[in-house]
Amino acid sequence: MKKQELIQRFNKQLVIENYANQTIKSYSSALKLFLEFVEKLQVDKITEKEIQDYLYYCKKRKNYSFSAMRQAIASIRYLYLKVLHKPLPDNFSLQQRRPNKLPVILSQQDINKLMKVTVNLKHKTILLLIYSAGLRLSELLNLKLGDIDPKSMKIHIRNSKGKKDRYIMLSGNVLKLLREYYKLYKPKEYIVEGQYGGKYSPASVQNIFKTALKKADINKSATVHTLRHSFATHLLEGGTDIRYIQELLGHKKLETTQIYTHVSSYSLNKIKSPADKLDI
């Protein structure tokens, strides 16, 4: 089977199984890289050694992260099981060790600084909207005018990661800002639109955030996604039950949300060091 035909069958199967568009793109990209690596071999002639060599190449030469490696492995699994209808090569039940890396968090003082140095109304609305609701970047860019409900003070997140919908609270400060923003920019379909309409660029949002970090003199390795991490951590520090935070973030598993218990200062502030009991 030719490479292009295999990719088409691969993508069709993903569509049939109702995978999200972003997942299809990611899996397809991972498959293309794999097929390029083994291009001199017939797919049915690929051995466990070639797969191992490929994964080693991804990790050592391409410096893949944990999630990128997981995606590379998942794409190969899907190819064998769902497209070729063949069992995986022996011993392919790889178990990656998840890195115990904590997310970067901005304090509420940092968030205040970011908002104060961001003068442009559109830029400020973007940053505050992401932080106020713990949005993923893709969720912000896909927000439409009808997804904001000022009567119930809710935001409707549609077709997000895993093709799931959810509701998030609408901040009063954000609603006030959105009304000012709407009067000035008059978006037609999406909350945040490009200069000529349509979806706003994700790279533009990242640049807005980087500029705000620099102006606020915040020297942390933060990205736009840091605003989502900060939202969850600040809720936890404020006493919000972690199960509610899980629902607000749209996490499938509670374990995913529990990482914020490690970065929150809420618990640490309640615990006294035994050194404090010493008479020194």
The answer to whether residue 93 is domain-embedded is: no
The answer to whether residue 275 is domain-embedded is: no
pLDDT tens, position by position, 169-210: 999 999 999 999 999 999 999 999 988 888 999 999 999 999
The answer to whether residue 170 is domain-embedded is: yes
Lowest mean pLDDT among 11-25, 213-227, 254-268: 254-268
**Residue range(s) defining the domain that contains residue 167:** 108-268
DSSP-based three-state secondary structure for 167: strand
Residues 73 and 122 in one domain: no
Share of the chain residues as helix, strand and coil, in percent rounded to the nearest 5: 60, 5, 35
pLDDT at 267: 56
Tokens for 121, please give them: 């109304």
The CATH number given to whatever domain includes residue 205 is 1.10.443.10
Mean pLDDT of the chain: 85
Active site (annotated) includes residue 260: yes
Active site (annotated) includes residue 86: no
The answer to whether residue 99 is domain-embedded is: no
The answer to whether residue 276 is domain-embedded is: no
pLDDT at 195: 84
Residues 78 and 118 in one domain: no
pLDDT tens, position by position, 64-102: 888 888 888 888 888 888 888 887 766 566 666 666 677
**Total domain count for the chain?**
2
Catalytic residue among 136, 156, 158, 199: 136
Residues 119 and 57 in one domain: no
Residues 115 and 79 in one domain: no
pLDDT band at 40 (very low <50, low <70, confident <90, very high): low
Angle (CA) 52-57-58 rounded to 5° is 100
Residue 275 has pLDDT above 50, yes or no: no
The answer to whether residue 273 is domain-embedded is: no
Average pLDDT over residues 21-39: 86
Q: Distance (Å, rounded) from C-alpha 187 to C-alpha 210?
A: 24
The answer to whether residue 78 is domain-embedded is: yes
Tokens for 136, please give them: 């993923």
Tokens for 79, please give them: 């190819």
Active site (annotated) includes residue 123: no
Catalytic residue among 32, 161, 166, 215: 161
Q: Pick from 68, 83, 98: which residue ends a domain?
A: 83
Average pLDDT over residues 145-150: 93
Catalytic residue among 113, 124, 228, 229: 228
Residues 77 and 167 in one domain: no
Who contacts 257 (Cβ-Cβ below 8 Å, separation ≥6)? 232, 242, 245, 246, 249, 251
The CATH number given to whatever domain includes residue 16 is 1.10.150.130
Active site (annotated) includes residue 136: yes
